[in-house]
Amino acid sequence: MVNTKHVKNSGYISLSFRGEILTGIKFLTFDCYGTLIDWKSGIESNFTKFFLKSSVEKAKVGNIIFEKYVSLEASEESNYKPYTQVLEETALKLALSFGLESFDGEAPKRFAASIKEWIPFPDKRQTLSEMGSRGLKRIILSNIDKDLLKDTLRNGRIEVDGFITAQDVGSYKPEKNHWISFFEKFGAKREETLHVAGSIYHDIIPANELGLKTVWVNRYQEKKPANVNSTYTIRGLADLLGILDSLK
């Protein structure tokens, strides 16, 4: 058993792991928003830009935009509809929940369109490129529409080998259709797949239920539920390189 508890790489520190050796891994599946793209900053900055028109409104909302948005969005995804619609309706419900009234009627659409420009995390490019050079297939499994994801990948210069979207499978994670479609489309086996994601709810729990090895990328220093495990817990994608290096 290899101890990587204190592996360091590019300023990140591996937090914990279950001690499983990652042998035979051929596919890395990634969530996109919150893992490769800074979902939290994108939501907060663009909601502020399009909905908060005064310092009084900003003070009224405070620092709970992300927390409330995530909760509202999950309820919007219980039945499938295009993610553009999910973005618009979630942002509008969030604004109304804060009692906001002065925003422009086009604000929900502008918020939804902004996702294509949300900023990638700085470690994504080097890590994804290195994973590709090692012969690993990099596949995104994302709760989004295909056109929005394609624009995000292009604008963020994100290099992957394929993707499965909510539009492709007609449902949103934590439903397991993304993974089922991935296994069928790419001919992957569960024991060959490592799932890498920032969301416990959308990704780590269902991936665990499918028997996959998992990497929780704890970008936002969240507290992990006591009853949820991941094979590894890391602070950023650079740690993924350190883990795989240590297991050679």
Which residue numbers are catalytic?
31
Residues contacting residue 248 through CB under 8 Å, at least 6 positions apart? none
- Give the rounded distance of the alpha carbon of 136 from its chain centre: 19
Task: Give the position of tokens 């499994």.
Answer: 141
For residue 25, give both structure tokens.
């891994």
**Token pair of 100 as six digits:** 């906001």
By CB atoms closer than 10 A (0-12, 13-18, 19+), residue 17 is buried
53-62 long-range contacts (CB < 8 A, ≥24 apart) are: 53/102, 53/103, 54/102, 57/98, 57/100, 57/102, 60/98, 60/99, 60/100, 61/98, 61/100
Omega before residue 174 within 30° of 0, cis: yes
- In degrees and rounded to multiples of 5, residue 233 shows phi and psi of -125, 125
